[in-house]
Amino acid sequence: MEKLIISACISGAEVTKEQNPAVPYTVEEIAREAKSAYDAGASVIHLHVRWDDGTPTQSTERFQECYDAIRKVCPDVIIQPSTGGAVGMTDLERLESTNIVPTPEFATLDCGTVNFGGDEIFINTDNTIMNFAKIMQERGIKPELEVFDKGMVDIALKVDKKGLLEHPMHFDFVLGVQMAATIRDLVFISNSIPAGSTWTATGIGRNAWHIAAATISMGGHVRVGFEDNLYLEKGRLAKSNGEMVEKAVKIAELLGREIATPTEAREILGLKPLA
């Protein structure tokens, strides 16, 4: 079975220190959490950034600061800026994260509108999705196609028919928001993507670990971290993103999956070697 790529979503845009004191806000905290995840076995750092008070931002300058700080302590890790930003941001604000130097090799592309609960709606129109894909293609950025339900796979395939996506396509299935976090749903959606595509999955909150175990056993790749889940187990807050990556590594060892290095992850994902 292919080696396992572990992505660490170290901060997100919504979780707070009130929920878990280890959630990083400052540049130094972001670098600390990235290194803890990298040292434990993560080859991809999925990056949101905050101002020091915890307010989410897509500021190019702030992303550059965090990118440089992470690269200093994790020289070969894959850094994947989020173009999701936070609910309420404009398209142009969200794309600021891709203006850093050097141009990111990998970034997220949300493939549909998401209902996060209550009145919190994360809007991604067809035009937004097509425009993001076109801009990423022009800049040589490979998109990770963020999918919250089966319809978003179909939207991604529609974008692909326009010639805007690089192959092999890479999907990230986020279960437990719009799509149920069951093994049935994971099997269904992972069988809905084109042959030869790669995929990662994550379960939100209490769904994190059974989805991680199922994904690893099925040959997919896994994402863990504070953006998606704050607990190492029921009632026990994780002390770092590194602790979560360590748990994913232990599950992989039990299931016979070797862990991919950043170099191996680039080969699997079809990214260019790091210059």
Least confident of 17-26, 79-88, 123-132, 176-185: 79-88
- Whether residue 109 is predicted with pLDDT greater than 90 in this model: the reply is yes
Least confident of 81-90, 196-205, 260-269: 81-90
Tokens of residue 234, six digits: 């029921």
Of 33, 42, 43, the closest CA to residue 70 belongs to 33
Residues 240-251, mean pLDDT to the nearest whole number: 98
DSSP string, 121-180: EE---HHHHHHHHHHHHHHTPEEEEEESSHHHHHHHHHHHHTT-S-SS-EEEEEESSSS-
Cα dihedral: 74, 148, 264, 102 (round 10): -50
Is the four-CA dihedral 54, 55, 58, 64 of positive or negative sign?
negative
The pLDDT of residue 116: 85
- Whether residue 274 is predicted with pLDDT greater than 80 in this model: the reply is no
The pLDDT of residue 120: 85
Question: Considering the chain, what is the average pLDDT of its residues?
Answer: 96
- Whether residue 149 is predicted with pLDDT greater than 80 in this model: the reply is yes
The pLDDT of residue 153: 98
Helix (H) or strand (E) holding 114: strand 114-117
Residues 51-76, mean pLDDT to the nearest whole number: 97
The predicted model scores a pTM of 0.96
At the second CATH level, the architecture of 6-269 is Alpha-Beta Barrel (3.20)
Least confident of 87-91, 104-108, 211-215: 87-91
- Whether residue 119 is predicted with pLDDT greater than 90 in this model: the reply is no
- Whether residue 216 is predicted with pLDDT greater than 80 in this model: the reply is yes
The pLDDT of residue 86: 74
- Whether residue 42 is predicted with pLDDT greater than 70 in this model: the reply is yes
- Whether residue 275 is predicted with pLDDT greater than 70 in this model: the reply is no
Helix (H) or strand (E) holding 253: helix 241-255
The pLDDT of residue 258: 98
The pLDDT of residue 76: 97
Give me the residue label for tokens 């990214």.
271
Confidence class for position 209, pLDDT limits 50, 70, 90 = very high
- Whether residue 101 is predicted with pLDDT greater than 70 in this model: the reply is yes
pLDDT tens per residue, range 234-244: 999 999 999 99
